Amino acid sequence: MELLLTVNGTVWEVSARPTARLIDVLRDQMGLSGTKEGCGEGECGACTVIVDGKAVNSCVMLAVQALGKEVLTVEGLAASGELDTLQQKFVEQGAVQCGFCTPGMLMSAKALLMANPLPSDQDIRTALAGNLCRCTGYKNIVAAVRAASGQETVAMEVPSEKEELLADLAVPGLAPAKLDEGGE
């Protein structure tokens, strides 16, 4: 079927099977290969793009679902040839190693900043929770998003690993566990 899709501000006319996923059309028909496919099941976030201002996984969305909507991919961030502030901060903060997760991370972070220009670390972690990174350990990514929002890159609030540990230590019937913070 013929589809008219608006991607990065340009209207594209493509011919695709009705069951084609958005990621297939972006990568194969439009040549926008910045969007990556990791798991193909909605779990890793590598394929994240922004549709009508919201981050979505383009691997669990059909192209037809984007009809009449505005799609933004990582290519749209540096459309003028200059890196977006968010991209610059990713570079500066060392938030990129192998780079496979980066386009998805950028798009999740971009959607967050579009809706919430001054996010807390918790907001950032919630927005990025569906984006897996095998290399960086997330700290520098959160720092980069903070920096891109113009906020000081200060020490994290409770790191998520600690929260997870606390959850693991929870004993039914007792008050939630506390970690000994060394006299803090």
Partner 1 sequence: MSTTDVVAPATTDELVAALARATPMTRLLAGGTDLVNDIRRPGRQTDLLIDLSHMPALSYVRHDGDMLRVGAMTTFTELQADPLVHEHAFCLERAASQVGSAQIRNVATIGGNVANASPCADGATALVALSAEVTTLDGSGHRATRPLRDVLLGSGRTALTDGEAIVEFAFAALGNEHRSAFAKIGWRTAVSVARLSMALVVRFDPVAEVLSEVRVGLGAVGETAFRDAVLEGLLEGRPADEESARILAEGCADAVRRSIPGRYSLPYKERAAVGLAYDAWNALRICPPCEPAWG
Q: How far apart are CA 70 and CA 74, in angstroms?
A: 13
CA nearest neighbour of 143 among 182, 86, 71, 98:
86
> Which among 35-43, 76-84, 91-99, 146-154 is the span making contact with partner 1, rule CB under 8 A?
35-43
Residue list 132-151, contact with ligand FES (CB under 6 A): 133-136
Position of tokens 């700290």?
A: 139
Q: How far apart are CA 130 and CA 109, in angstroms?
A: 11
97 near ligand FES, judged by CB under 6 A: yes
Out of 34, 38, 76, 103, point to the residue binding ligand FES (CB under 6 A): 38
Q: How far apart are CA 35 and CA 27, in angstroms?
A: 7
How many residues of this chain bind partner 1 (CB under 8 A)?
Answer: 38
145 near partner 1, judged by CB under 8 A: no
164 near ligand FAD, judged by CB under 6 A: no
Cβ count within 10 A of residue 3: 17
Q: How far apart are CA 135 and CA 126, in angstroms?
A: 19
> Which among 1-9, 26-34, 41-49, 157-165 is the span making contact with ligand FES, rule CB under 6 A?
41-49
Residue list 17-76, contact with ligand FAD (CB under 6 A): 41-43, 60
How many residues of this chain bind ligand FES (CB under 6 A)?
Answer: 22
Helix residue ranges per DSSP H, 55-152 = 74-77, 85-92, 102-115, 121-128, 139-148
Give CA 172 to chain center in angstroms: 35
Partner that binds at residue 97, options partner 1, ligand FAD, ligand FES, none, CB closer than 5 to 8 Å by kind:
ligand FES
List interacting residues with partner 1 (CB under 8 A): 1, 17-19, 21, 40-43, 45, 48, 54-57, 59-62, 64-65, 67-68, 108, 111-112, 126-127, 129-131, 160, 163-164, 167, 170, 172-173
